[in-house]
Amino acid sequence: MKGTLKKMHTCLDEQNLAHYSLPLGDDLVELNPLIGKQISLAFSGNIFCGGCGKKTKKSYAQGFCYLCMNKLAQCDMCVMKPETCHYAKGTCREPDWGDAHCNIPHFVYLSNTSAIKVGITRSTQLPTRWIDQGATQGLVIFKVATRHISGLIEVELAKIIGDKTHWQAMLKGNADDVDLVAAAQALVPRIQPSIDAIVSKYGAESIELAQLEPQKIRYPVNVFPQKVKSLNFDKEPLVKGTLQGIKGQYLIFDTGVINIRKYGSYEVEIVNS
């Protein structure tokens, strides 16, 4: 099967096990049944922009050509740093896109990847967001009116705890369980002055404490790597080996690991050998 890559689709079953499928063009390859088997991923050398569809020599912002990267709102720096959102200034590249993706309810959450971290996501993107980062636990602590407000809260919490996933540690095994509820109860009072300032500026309805239960997540991994070797399509167009597991957006082979999300829009052929 051959087509352009997109980030893996995910879902949880009733036992909280993550299931993965790999988009190749218009097709989906179910990956969980391939764990323990020999497979190969062959990069053709072609990259087709995820925005305009044109062939590009290099992928920018995980799957776009240079022109689209500079044109599309989804490639703007404020997507990575929502506290810098400039929609209210009238300078959003695509106001309609901003209305659909940013000016909607978002969650501020705690997750356990290799340690506790803070993160944000659209209210429709859980548990997908937690699975994408390889979290074994997740807990929503705030529901807020916009992405910008979620970014303001994340910045304050990141002064106390981390906001990055240490991907090598995440791939070497599962972190020990932690009490996320207790962590949230300890953290929220420490940023209360900032919360009060946001409410004063954006209104009482802009932030509310969430009343959701913690989520546990299991991953289909037979063997975790002792040493993490990163595989790279640009240096090694043929990635092959025994698929030992999947965690986050990484395929774990006995020969190394590859971040599928990094190679969005790369044309790849998958073979189960």
For 144-202, the pLDDT digits (tens) are: 999 999 999 999 999 999 999 999 999 999 999 999 999 999 999 999 999 999 999 99
- Closest to 192 measured CA to CA, from 166, 158, 156: 156
In a domain, 241, yes or no: yes
In the chain, the percentage of residues whose pLDDT exceeds 90 is 98
Residue 211, pLDDT score: 82
**Start-end of H helices in the chain:** 66-71, 77-80, 95-101, 128-132, 147-158, 167-171, 180-187, 192-202
Q: Half-sphere exposure of residue 220, counting CA atoms within 13 Å on the CB side?
A: 22
With 90 as the cut, is the pLDDT of residue 273 above it? no
Helical packing angle, 147-158 and 192-202, nearest 10°:
160
For 28-68, the pLDDT digits (tens) are: 999 999 999 999 999 999 999 999 999 999 999 999 999 99
Q: Which domain holds residue 243?
A: 2-68+235-272
In a domain, 190, yes or no: no
For 81-121, the pLDDT digits (tens) are: 999 999 999 999 999 999 999 999 999 999 999 899 999 99
Instruction: Tell the residue number behind the tokens 């040493």, with chain if given.
Output: 227
Residue 212, pLDDT score: 86
- Closest to 59 measured CA to CA, from 261, 239, 269, 270: 261
In a domain, 139, yes or no: no
In a domain, 247, yes or no: yes
For 220-252, the pLDDT digits (tens) are: 999 999 999 999 999 999 999 999 999 999 999
In a domain, 115, yes or no: no
With 80 as the cut, is the pLDDT of residue 77 above it? yes
With 90 as the cut, is the pLDDT of residue 16 above it? yes
In a domain, 265, yes or no: yes
In a domain, 242, yes or no: yes
With 90 as the cut, is the pLDDT of residue 132 above it? yes
Could you give the CA distance from residue 180 to residue 55 in angstroms, rounded to a whole number? 45
Residue 272, pLDDT score: 83
Beta-carbon contacts of 115 under 8 Å, excluding residues fewer than 6 positions away, are: 162, 166, 169, 175
What would the mean pLDDT of 2-28 be, rounded to a whole number? 96
Q: Into how many domains does the chain fold?
A: 1
In a domain, 34, yes or no: yes
